[in-house]
């Protein structure tokens, strides 16, 4: 009896610790492992967790997934380590045996592309923004140094895979009776932002142009980012998948909170500069009231103000 209740306690503990590995009831083509969910017809998403870059789960913070056509599959982002890429591949293979014709990276950040090497195959083309190849070269040593443990048992320069097909403005890819439209943007959240629109379901993979719940962070240009978001408001989109945070079918409300945060950064930073404040003063004063609104505010907000300040002081 005592043993039995111990076993039950052990099982309950397991479930609490690893809810992602619970079998899904009537799982309609969903994968039990890796918490993969079908969010639209033939579109599967693994949602990232909201932890910082130094957390043990830092390789699993981005939303990643795939779209299945009649002939082949397109993967969108591969996670922040080769292990995460392999988990995505394994769970994809539980759902489809079709070739993976494209691995699309929405931008150069580690959490979206260090899993690429898991998908190396003769069938597969790696796709990204026109500037992605250069950005990967630029970041290769940094990635190797900073994320060495995430790059497999023998990390080396070839563990980081750049694109062999790049997008200048827009490009349609056919997955077999299923067209997806890739769009490359001028510098916004990063210098290599690329989105994917599935024409059949009007599902929009926004990459990190959209953050929800987790505080937006950028290494591109604040004004460029705001301009892209403004233009996106007029798109017809049924379901939005942000780079971080929950999916939404309420467009353009999906990114209203982000827009208001970025607009505050722009307005308050301009005002601080006009008042002759120094960078340190601006960092201390801007946007403190937004603290409750965003996860990881503490870790990333000051850097956002610094970025905004150095961009806007030259206006």
Which of 6-14, 61-69, 198-206, 220-228 is the region at the interface with Zn ion (rule: CB under 5 A)? 61-69
258 interacts with Zn ion by CB under 5 A = no
| Residue placing its CB nearer to Zn ion in the complex, 31 or 105 | 105
In 3D, which of 275, 272, 284 has the Cα closest to residue 309? 272
Distances (CA, A) of 284 to 100, 181, 292: 48, 42, 16
| Residue placing its CB nearer to Zn ion in the complex, 46 or 109 | 109
| Residue placing its CB nearer to Zn ion in the complex, 77 or 198 | 77
Give the separation between CA 90 and CA 26, rounded to whole angstroms: 20
Helical residues (DSSP H) of the chain, grouped into ranges? 2-17, 82-95, 110-113, 132-146, 222-232, 256-274, 279-285, 297-312
H or E element at residue 208: strand 203-211
| Residue placing its CB nearer to Zn ion in the complex, 60 or 208 | 208
* Closest distance of CB 110 from Zn ion, Å: 8
* Closest distance of CB 94 from Zn ion, Å: 25
Which of 5-13, 162-170, 189-197, 240-248 is the region at the interface with Zn ion (rule: CB under 5 A)? 240-248
Taking each helix axis as running N to C, give the angle between helix 222-232 and helix 297-312, from 0 to 180 degrees, rounded to the nearest 10: 100
| Spatial contact of 194 and 184, defined as CB atoms under 8 Å apart | yes
* Closest distance of CB 200 from Zn ion, Å: 26
* Closest distance of CB 65 from Zn ion, Å: 14
* Closest distance of CB 109 from Zn ion, Å: 5
DSSP state of 214: B
Task: Determine the size of the site formed for Zn ion (CB under 5 A).
Answer: 5
Q: Which of 115, 155, 242, 243 binds Zn ion (CB under 5 A)?
A: 243
Distances (CA, A) of 219 to 130, 136, 209, 216, 292: 17, 14, 12, 11, 23
* Closest distance of CB 192 from Zn ion, Å: 12
Which of 65-73, 125-133, 188-196, 238-246 is the region at the interface with Zn ion (rule: CB under 5 A)? 238-246
245 interacts with Zn ion by CB under 5 A = no
| Residue placing its CB nearer to Zn ion in the complex, 211 or 251 | 211
Which of 20-28, 163-171, 187-195, 235-243 is the region at the interface with Zn ion (rule: CB under 5 A)? 235-243
- 94 CB contacts (<8 Å, ≥6 apart)? 31, 32, 33
| Residue placing its CB nearer to Zn ion in the complex, 72 or 204 | 204
Give the separation between CA 272 and CA 276, rounded to whole angstroms: 6
76 interacts with Zn ion by CB under 5 A = no
- Proportion of the chain in helix, strand, coil states, percent, rounded to 5: 40, 20, 40
Q: With H, G, I as helix, E, B as strand and everything else as coil, classify residue 186.
A: coil
| Spatial contact of 119 and 94, defined as CB atoms under 8 Å apart | no
135 interacts with Zn ion by CB under 5 A = no
Pick out residues in 150-209 that bind Zn ion (CB under 5 A).
208
* Closest distance of CB 313 from Zn ion, Å: 26
62 interacts with Zn ion by CB under 5 A = yes
| Residue placing its CB nearer to Zn ion in the complex, 86 or 192 | 192
Per-residue binder mask for Zn ion (CB under 5 A), 81-120, x = binder: ----------------------------x-x---------
Q: What is the DSSP string of 119-139?
A: G--TT-EEEEETTHHHHHHHH
Q: Which residues bind Zn ion (CB under 5 A)?
A: 62, 109, 111, 208, 243
């Amino acid at each position: 009896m005592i043993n039995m209740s111990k076993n039950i306690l052990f099982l309950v503990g397991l479930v609490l610790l690893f809810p992602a590995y619970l079998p899904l009831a009537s799982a309609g083509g969903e994968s039990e492992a890796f918490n993969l969910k079908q969010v639209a017809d033939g579109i599967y998403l693994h949602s990232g967790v909201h932890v910082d870059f130094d957390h043990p789960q830092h390789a699993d913070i981005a939303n990643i997934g795939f779209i299945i056509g009649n002939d082949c599959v397109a993967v969108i982002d591969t996670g922040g380590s080769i292990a995460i890429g392999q988990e995505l591949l394994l769970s994809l293979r539980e759902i489809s045996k079709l070739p993976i014709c494209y691995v699309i990276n929405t931008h150069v950040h580690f959490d979206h592309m260090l899993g690429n090497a898991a998908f190396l195959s003769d069938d597969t083309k790696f796709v990204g923004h026109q500037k992605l190849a250069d950005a990967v070269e630029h970041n290769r040593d940094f990635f190797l140094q900073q994320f060495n443990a995430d790059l497999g048992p023998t990390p080396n320069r070839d563990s980081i895979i750049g694109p062999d097909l790049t997008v200048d403005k827009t490009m349609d890819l056919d997955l077999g009776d299923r067209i997806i439209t890739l769009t490359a943007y001028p510098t916004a959240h990063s210098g290599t932002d690329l989105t994917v629109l599935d024409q059949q379901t009007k599902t929009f993979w926004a990459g990190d142009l959209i953050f929800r719940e987790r505080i937006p962070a950028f290494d591109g240009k604040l004004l460029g980012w705001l301009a892209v978001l403004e233009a996106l408001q007029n798109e017809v989109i049924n379901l939005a998948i942000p780079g971080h945070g929950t999916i939404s079918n309420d467009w353009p409300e999906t990114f209203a909170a982000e827009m208001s945060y970025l607009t505050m950064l722009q307005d308050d930073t301009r005002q601080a500069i006009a008042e002759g404040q120094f960078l340190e003063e601006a960092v201390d004063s801007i946007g403190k009231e937004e603290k409750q609104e965003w996860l990881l505010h503490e870790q990333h907000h000051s850097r956002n103000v610094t970025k905004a300040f150095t961009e806007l002081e030259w206006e």
